[in-house]
Each structure stands twice: as structure tokens, then as C-alpha cells.
């Protein structure tokens, strides 16, 4: 059951990334789009916490500490990722920042003592290779990498680990994910609210806000399912499955925008399928 939940989390979170891409293709304002994402995401986690009866956990200081850390991981991770793109190629930045899952795998295996069979280790290896290949695009020209790019990438990896690995730690502490993510998304909402005031292009604002709100709903669903997968299954398997969410964006780009996958990306698709099958065996 946890495997289906983990796959579902990757699909839903991938759809969030897809609507972010659509916003980019339609020239939506980036800051407004992220603001809209955190608006609907915050609402989703708040309603979820109220329905499941965990909203009272907001009285627990540990929930606030976790929410602040995970929220910082989400907001600063995204901000640092966008900054890294200014100093280095996207074909390297995207897969490398996704390598935060290696730290999550290490957390589950080494600290929490989650066991791995040989077939599961092979499946994880295939998924890790797939994550690297998914975002690979051959550069038409050599792209210079400035020294500060390395710092931004390393920082982004660490902050994304706070988000993805933090949910594993809070689950082990017996804390509910919905109120924690509600706090995290609410703080991220405040973070991205300030740049919105500088947006002047009304068409770009409307596009970014509409698609950002839609992306936030899928972001909520994907992270909530990811939290469930961590609670019901091993983190060292759920994390690499969740990281394959980029395949959804690739599939949508092929179907809607008629983009073509290169050989590396086709290999990523096949490796993802193979990795999931091997893990299931």
C-alpha cells in the first residue's frame, strides 16, 4: 500500500511542477505564481488538519519548530534553486538539487535502521540514475559555471533535505504532517508575498496567480501523500520514488508542447519503470 501512496505522491507533486511549467510557457509572473502556490497549499493543509482533527497540534511548540524548519527548506530551497540557474546550466542544476534524496535515504537507513534488500538497493540505484537523467539536456554551447553556483546548489540541496527529510523526522516523533506543512506553507506564503507588490504586468499577474493556485493544490496533495508514504513505508524507498515526479513534467511537455525526449531522458523513463518494478518484487 505504501508503494502506491509513494507513486501517487510523485504523480501529484509532478502535476504541481507541470502547472508551474505551464505558467512559465504562458509568461506568468514567477513570484505571483509561487505566491498563488503557497496560498492554495496553505489552505489545503489547513483544511486537511481541521478535518482530520489535528489542528489542535498547533498548540505544540514542536510543531512550530518543525513547520519553521520545513517551511524554510521549501521557500529557501526554491529561492536558491532559482538563483543557481543564474550562474550555471539548468541541465546540471536540476538533477543535482534533486540529489537531496540521497541524504534522506541515508537518514532512513543509517539513523533509523531501515533495512534494504539487494533488489531494493538496485531499485534505488536505478531511480537515482533516472533522477539525474530526467533533467538532462545537451547544451548547444558550452556554459561557463561561476564559482558561486556551487554554493547555491549545495545550499539548495541542504534546504530541500530539511523539507523532505524533516517530514521523516516529525513522523518518527509522532507529529502529524498536516499542521506542520500548514505552518511551513504559511511562512513560505509570507516570504513570497513581498515580491508580488512589485508586479506590474496585469496579464502576467493573472496567469501566474491562476496557475499558481492550481499548482498549490497538487503540491498539497503530493506532499501529503509523501508524508503518508513515509509513515507507512521505509523512507529510503519512498524518497527516491517521490523524486521521480519530474517525469510528469516531461510527459506533459511531450503531449502538450510537443517536446521531444533525448536519449538520456528516454533512458530515465525506462529506468524509473524498472526501478519501481524491482522495488515491488
Number of H helices, E strands in the chain: 12, 0
Q: Which of 148, 150, 37, 168 is nearest to 101 (CA)?
A: 168
Instruction: Kindly tell me if the per-residue pLDDT of 140 is higher than 60.
Output: no
What is the C-alpha separation between 247 and 17, in angstroms, rounded? 10
Identify the pLDDT of residue 167.
86
Average pLDDT of the segment spanning 211-220: 95
Average pLDDT of the chain?
83
Q: CB neighbours of 65 closer than 8 A, spacing ≥ 6?
A: none
Average pLDDT of the segment spanning 36-53: 95
What confidence tier does 115 reach under pLDDT thresholds 50, 70, 90?
confident
What is the C-alpha separation between 177 and 182, in angstroms, rounded? 8
Share of the chain above pLDDT 90, in %: 30
Per the document, the length of the chain is 281
Instruction: Kindly tell me if the per-residue pLDDT of 16 is higher than 70.
Output: yes
What confidence tier does 135 reach under pLDDT thresholds 50, 70, 90?
low
Identify the pLDDT of residue 171.
87
What is the C-alpha separation between 187 and 249, in angstroms, rounded? 26
C-alpha cell read off for 74: 521549501
Residue with cell string 521557500: 75
Q: CB neighbours of 150 closer than 8 A, spacing ≥ 6?
A: none
Average pLDDT of the segment spanning 109-118: 79
Instruction: Kindly tell me if the per-residue pLDDT of 56 is higher than 90.
Output: yes
Helix, strand and coil in the chain, % to nearest 5: 80, 0, 20
Q: What is the DSSP letter of 281?
A: -
What confidence tier does 218 reach under pLDDT thresholds 50, 70, 90?
very high
Instruction: Kindly tell me if the per-residue pLDDT of 9 is higher than 50.
Output: yes
pTM higher than 0.85 for the full model? no
What confidence tier does 235 reach under pLDDT thresholds 50, 70, 90?
confident
Q: Which of 251, 245, 273 is nearest to 14 (CA)?
A: 245
Amino acid at each position: 500500500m505504501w508503494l502506491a501512496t509513494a507513486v501517487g505522491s510523485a504523480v501529484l507533486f509532478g502535476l504541481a511542477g507541470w502547472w508551474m511549467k505551464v505558467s512559465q510557457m504562458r509568461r506568468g509572473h514567477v513570484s505571483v505564481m509561487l505566491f498563488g502556490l503557497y496560498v492554495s497549499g496553505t489552505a489545503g493543509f489547513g483544511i486537511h488538519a481541521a478535518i482530520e482533527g489535528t489542528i489542535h497540534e498547533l498548540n505544540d511548540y514542536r510543531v512550530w519548530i518543525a513547520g519553521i524548519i520545513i517551511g524554510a527548506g521549501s521557500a529557501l530551497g526554491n529561492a536558491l534553486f532559482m538563483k543557481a540557474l543564474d550562474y550555471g546550466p539548468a541541465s546540471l542544476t536540476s538533477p543535482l538539487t534533486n540529489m537531496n534524496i540521497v541524504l534522506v535515504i541515508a537518514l532512513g537507513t543509517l539513523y533509523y535502521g531501515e533495512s534494504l534488500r539487494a533488489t531494493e538497493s538496485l531499485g534505488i540505484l536505478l531511480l537515482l540514475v533516472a533522477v539525474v537523467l530526467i533533467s538532462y539536456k545537451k547544451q548547444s554551447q558550452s556554459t561557463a559555471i561561476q564559482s558561486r553556483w556551487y554554493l547555491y546548489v549545495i545550499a539548495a540541496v541542504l534546504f530541500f533535505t530539511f523539507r523532505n527529510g524533516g517530514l521523516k523526522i516529525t513522523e518518527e516523533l509522532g507529529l502529524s504532517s498536516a499542521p506542520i506543512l500548514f505552518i511551513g506553507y504559511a511562512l513560505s506564503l509570507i516570504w513570497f508575498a513581498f515580491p508580488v507588490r512589485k508586479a506590474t504586468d496585469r496579464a502576467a499577474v493573472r496567469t501566474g496567480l491562476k496557475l499558481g493556485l492550481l499548482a498549490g493544490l497538487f503540491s498539497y496533495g503530493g506532499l501529503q501523500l509523501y508524508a503518508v508514504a513515509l509513515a507507512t513505508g521505509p523512507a529510503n524507498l519512498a524518497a527516491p520514488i517521490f523524486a521521480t515526479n519530474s517525469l510528469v513534467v516531461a510527459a506533459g511537455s511531450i503531449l502538450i508542447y510537443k517536446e521531444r525526449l533525448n536519449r538520456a531522458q528516454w533512458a530515465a523513463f525506462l529506468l524509473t519503470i524498472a526501478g519501481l518494478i524491482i522495488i515491488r518484487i
